[in-house]
Amino acid sequence: MLKLGIIGTNWITEQFIQAALSTKKYQLTSVYSRTEEKAQQVATKYEAGEVFTSLADFFAQGSFDVVYIASPNSLHFEQAKAALEAGKNVIVEKPAFSNPTEMATITALLAKKPQLFLFEGARHVYEPNFQITKQAIQTLDQVQGATLVYMKYSSRYDQVLAGKTPNIFSPKFSGGSLQDLGVYVVYDAVSWFGVPDDVHYFANLLPTGVDGRGTAILTYPGFNVTLIFGKNATSYLPSEIYGLHETLVLAPNAADLAQVTRYQPDGKTVELGEPADENPMTHEAEAFYSMMTTQDHQMANSALKTSQAVNQVLFKLRQSAGIEFAADQGN
Ligand SMILES: NC(=O)c1ccc[n+]([C@@H]2O[C@H](COP(=O)([O-])OP(=O)(O)OC[C@H]3O[C@@H](n4cnc5c(N)ncnc54)[C@H](OP(=O)(O)O)[C@@H]3O)[C@@H](O)[C@H]2O)c1
């Protein structure tokens, strides 16, 4: 049983706690929140014994083995750094870090503490249909390209329309649609096709200073991958990966891989996917537990390499659209 600590008390933290507890391999022991009341609320609901409102005390006195960090994006870096320095394993929500400088600092710190693990919570990568898609791509006669879509209207965009800047649409908190939803399709592209030769992002920029939606083109030898993502509109377009004679269709989108369908040369279809779990975070909770308890650093390093590549691609895309974060200062 791994002892779990959490940072952040929004719905996603509860979804992760529920996934972790459902595996029966984690026990929630320690809750950090800026407010005592919120920390106590989560602790009571999930029977955690330790409540903290000071991050320093949380890391110094918390009895947890691994911390799940689900704070605004720009805070991930300092919190993950503090966790590693305190000898804790880390699961940090996507996008793990704001830029390659932060990523390099964390990987250098990890190299000095080789017994510790740091995972990016890219939940869809650990779902069976992600691997099923990867394997199916390898059997396509010749990849001709792909269109990968993940665009969902965010209720927090109502605040932007009202002239406000919620965290997720703020450059101070490393927000925007590329960071929030684009990261899923960048993970798809990097995991399925490798690191692209070149990238370009055509962004719809908001008055808050980040992107509301956009289209990115990733170029590979012999084909392009088009990424369509956003938080100020909703797309019902499935995603497609094109072979010469066959096509894979991912539905409802390239991040929630409920259905993976292969269209054969004769137009007939074969369903490849497995039914998805009710809680999409269960598979990552299982995978992280397995790597930590079997000391599978090889698999963890491979996941970290993908995180680094995704971090680089996100940064280049952002640069191509002229989007700057407070966290980039000094880069
Ligand atoms: N994997 C997924 O499916 C998924 C889904 C949604 C979000 N996420 C990721 O989860 C992370 C959190 O996203 P979110 O939308 O929940 O963010 P959020 O609502 O802006 O903040 C999350 C938590 O961080 C704390 N917080 C908020 N503002 C803060 C501030 N100014 N300073 C310090 N702490 C602050 C709050 O906890 P306290 O008030 O308790 O301190 C809050 O509950 C992001 O990295 C996001 O990308 C992942």
Q: Is 168 in the pocket of ligand 1 (CB under 6 A)?
A: yes
Examine the fold and report which residue of 87, 121, 155 is the final residue of a domain before the chain moves on.
Answer: 121
121 touches ligand 1 (CB under 6 Å): yes
pLDDT for residue 330 is more than 80 = no
Q: Please choose from 75, 76, 93, 177 the residue to mutate so as to test ligand 1's pocket, defined by most ligand atoms within 8 A of CB.
A: 93
Assess whether 161 and 97 both reside in one domain.
no
Q: Give 104-129 pLDDT, tens digit per residue.
A: 999 999 999 999 999 999 999 999 99
Residue to mutate (ligand 1; options 13, 55, 167; most atoms within 8 A of CB) = 167
> Where residue 63 falls among pLDDT bands split at 50, 70, 90?
very high
pLDDT for 101 beyond 90: yes
Query: Is residue 300, in this structure, part of any structural domain at all?
Result: no
Phi, psi (rounded to 5 degrees) for 68: -100, 120
pLDDT higher than 70, residue 242: yes
How far apart are the CA of 241 and the centre of ligand 1, in A? 32
Residues 105 and 139 in one domain: no
**Residues 254-261, mean pLDDT to the nearest whole number:** 97
Q: Is residue 39 part of a domain?
A: yes
Contact between 176 and 225 (Cβ < 8 Å)? no
pLDDT score, position 331: 61
Question: Does residue 86 sit within a domain?
Answer: yes
The sign of the CA dihedral 43, 49, 52, 57 is: negative
Domain extent for 23: 2-121
Same domain, 171 and 36: no
Q: Is the minimum distance from the CB of 283 to ligand 1 under 6 angstroms?
A: no
CB 139 within 8 A of CB 194: no
Give me the number of domains the chain comprises.
2
Question: Do 104 and 154 reside in the same domain of the chain?
Answer: no
The DSSP-derived string for 125-148 is GGSHHHHHHHHHHHTSSS--EEEE
Please indicate, yes or no, whether residues 324 and 244 belong to a single structural domain of this protein: yes
